Each structure stands twice: as structure tokens, then as C-alpha cells.
Amino acid sequence: MSRLLFVTLLLLMQLRAAVTIDLSQDAIANAQTILVTLYADANEPRIDRLYVAFDGKRWPFYRNPFRKGRSFYALVPASFYAKPGVRKLVVVTVERGRKHYYAFNTEVYAGAYKVEKLHVAPSRAKISSKNRKRISAETKEAMRIYRTSTPKLYIKAPLALPLQSRITSAFGNRRLFNGVLKSYHSGTDFHAPVGTPIYAVAAGKVVLAKDRFFAGNSVIIDHGQGIYTCYYHLSRIKVKPGTWVKKGTLVGLAGATGRVTGPHLHYSVRVNGVQVDPVAFTETFNTLFSKER
């Protein structure tokens, strides 16, 4: 993890709350996530609204359930397609109708993502018009899910990874299918023979459990506050949409369904609608549970 940026702002203005703002990193690769935590003193004035502005978008703050007092956190994801450069990350507080701004220089750099050459069945590389319609419908369905953010966080404990096996393909690799560049790898692939049990990494609600063209048998779990985890290419699905799961609940068995070259688990994470590096996100999010915060 990059060096910790810790900034304490003790403000002398009577109408301005004293706050401590902590950024998990001041430099991230594209498709990584910054965790912003804010702690306000117990005295008035009350903070009526909080948000983070970064790279042309606004991200919400939520009450931090893992720390007592007036403690809040925000997840700020950088898109895989974000161009390298220094941006302003601005925390905005609204107190008695007045906005106050706290700006931080934050660098986004190009991740060291590799190029992979993959060979798949022609029917999965060259897509028919019928399958294009199917893919379009599945994409729209998924994006409707990812754009939904519930106000409650269902996560109760540090996130786990779905498997402790070898990573066979890292997030972000650019992928050539049958010699043609088609996409970047939007998740992390774990070695998993057919039938390997796959468990939920945290508590949440199953919002999708079905077969899809690219992802095969898929499970998507909503963990609240814009956090989603996804489990793809399963041989069997063990949960249904609407099911509430706990950390460690069996969601399916690993397989080789969809567009694959062999059996494995593809695991991905969405944060506020943005695809992010799932391993890096797990490490960053779990710092919320640190006693130092």
C-alpha cells in the first residue's frame, strides 16, 4: 500500500467544525480505490452534509459503523480508463448552509497491467447478432444493479477473498481473444477445479444468480453503500436472488461456464458503479477495521 497521508485540520473559525481527514493513499493506479475517513469533534456546529469531489464526480460519505463518535467514510474509485496525472480530491462539508473545502493533491498513475493471449471457442470470440442482443440485455441488467446504492452497509467484519488459491490472471490484464484485443480483465481469476466451493466474502443480499453469455453461471451480491462482489463461471449456483447471505455462505461451485479457457473462479468488485481491482480494494477497505483509525 502507498504511504499514508494523514492530515489534521484544526479550524479556528467558530462556525466551522474541527475535523480530521485521513486518505488511505495519495497515489493510486487506475482502477484502485481511495478510502477517505473523516472524524469530527463532538461539539457543534453540526455537519449537515458531506461528500468527496474527485475527477469530475461526487462520492458520498457514510457513517463509519466501526468507530464511535462522529466518524464517516467515503470510497473513491478511479476508473480503469482514468488518464495518469495529478488531480484534486476535495472533501466538502456543509455546515449551517455554508460549504467548506479541504483539497488534497492525488496522483493517478498507470497500473503495470500485462497483455494476455487467450484462445476460446469461435462461438465465444465471434459473436452472432442473436448473442449480441443477449449480451446487451445482460449488460443493461447488470448496470441497473450497479447504479443502485443502498444507504445501509451490510458488511460486519473484514472482507475475505473468495479463495486462498493461486491467482492465475490478475486484474487489469489486456486480453487478446484469438488474436484480437477485446477487453481488459475486469476481475481476478483464482485457480479452482470444477466443483470447488465458493463462499461469500461478506454479508449481503444476492441480487443476481443466473447464466450469462460471457460470465456463465454468475452470482452478484449487494453489500450495501454501492459495494458489489461478483462470482463468475460457476458450474452450479447455490443461492437465489433475494437471498441474504453471511460471510462464508456457500454461493456456488467453481466451473468453466461462459467464455473461458478452463475452470477457474473470476472474482470482481464494483464500487459506486466503478469496476476496481478486487484484491487492492479488499486491502484498502479492511483498514476501516484498524484500531488506529
At 92-144, the pLDDT tens digits run 998 888 899 999 999 999 887 766 555 556 655 578 899 999 999 999 999 99
- The better pLDDT of the pair 132, 173 is held by 132
> What pLDDT shows up at residue 172?
72
Q: Are 189 and 162 in contact (CB under 8 A)?
A: no
> What pLDDT shows up at residue 44?
54
Per-residue model confidence as pLDDT tens digits over 205-237: 999 999 999 999 999 999 999 999 999 999 999
Answer whether the bond into residue 45 is a cis peptide, omega within 30°: yes
> What pLDDT shows up at residue 220?
98
What does each C-alpha distance from 158 to 45, 133, 281 come to in angstroms?
Answer: 33, 39, 12
- The better pLDDT of the pair 41, 288 is held by 288
> What pLDDT shows up at residue 10?
40
Give all domains of the chain, ordered by start, each with its CATH number: 5-110 (2.60.40.1930), 115-282 (2.70.70.10)
Residue corresponding to grid cell 479452482: 192
Cell of 67: 468507530
Which of the 8 DSSP states describes residue 287?
G
> What pLDDT shows up at residue 21?
93
β pairing state of 180-184 and 167-169: unpaired
Under DSSP, is residue 218 helix (H, G, I), strand (E, B) or coil?
strand
Count CB-CB contacts under 10 A for residue 129.
Answer: 7
Residue corresponding to grid cell 497491467: 113
Nearest to 230 by CA among 196, 270, 203: 270
Residue 8 has pLDDT above 50, yes or no: no
- The better pLDDT of the pair 260, 5 is held by 260
Q: In what order do the strands lie in the sheet with 27-29?
A: 27-29, 98-109, 85-95, 49-54, 57-60
Q: Are 82 and 38 in contact (CB under 8 A)?
A: no
Residue 279 has pLDDT above 90, yes or no: yes
- Mean pLDDT, residues 13-22 taken together: 69
pLDDT band, very low/low/confident/very high, at 265 (cuts 50, 70, 90): very high
